[in-house]
Chain A
Amino acid sequence: EAGVAQSPRYKIIEKRQSVAFWCNPISGHATLYWYQQILGQGPKLLIQFQNNGVVDDSQLPKDRFSAERLKGVDSTLKIQPAKLEDSAVYLCASSLISATGELFFGEGSRLTVL
């Protein structure tokens, strides 16, 4: 079974530039999560999708971050414009159902903002 795929693995940009991350969850997984993990901290939920609907985006900085999950499958997370404090690993995870069960994580996309 293929795991959660994320790209790119690494990205370096200047502040005020834009960047997009892509995630393809495990086939059949209805729930998709985007997390931000800053070095030395635990993951922080940015947005949670159930199929193509948003369940929780309370911690998503909506003035600069956006995410979509078209057709309830893969998802894109965009940052525009980027700030220095956005430097982090962006983790995508998926699970079968939202109430219980294991979350499967991708390898993450490491963003450095200069």
Chain B
Amino acid sequence: SQELEQSPQSLIVQEGKNLTINCTSSKTLYGLYWYKQKYGEGLIFLMMLQKGGEEKSHEKITAKLDEKKQQSSLHITASQPSHAGIYLCGADISPGIRKLIWGLGTSLAVNP
């Protein structure tokens, strides 16, 4: 089974709607990274969370880390077509030298 589960696998929303993507780890989290990827391109950094209860926002995207549940959520408010892409979460599961595992990604489409 996947060590880092993302849900949903894919999402289609109407422009202006809010949405949430979840990322759950089967291992202790020492850091949680959210990236966005467009087809055929590299990963673009969104946010990094390290402490339980931490919450960060950038423009209309907010990410939270629930350390106890080993889970993070990414929330997009008032979605726009520019938000479309694949959202990947990466988890650092090592207290020492960084060891990242990745989810399979959530594909987001935003219909105008």
Contacts and interface: CB of A to CB of B under 8 A. Distances in A.
B106 to A, nearest CB: 11
A25 interface: no
Contacts of B43: 43, 91, 93, 103, 105
A35 to B, nearest CB: 8
B88 interface: yes
A100 B31 contact: yes
A55 B100 contact: no
Given A55-B97, A98-B97, A99-B97, A40 B41 contact: no
A107 interface: yes
- Most chain A beta carbons < 10 A, residue from B4, B43, B45: B43
10 contacts: A40-B105, A41-B105, A42-B104, A43-B102, A99-B97, A99-B98, A101-B48, A103-B90, A105-B42, A107-B41
Interface of A: 4, 31, 40-45, 50, 55-56, 89, 91, 93, 95, 98-108, 110
Given A45-B100, A100-B50, A104-B45, 6 more contacts: A55-B97, A93-B43, A99-B96, A100-B48, A102-B48, A107-B41
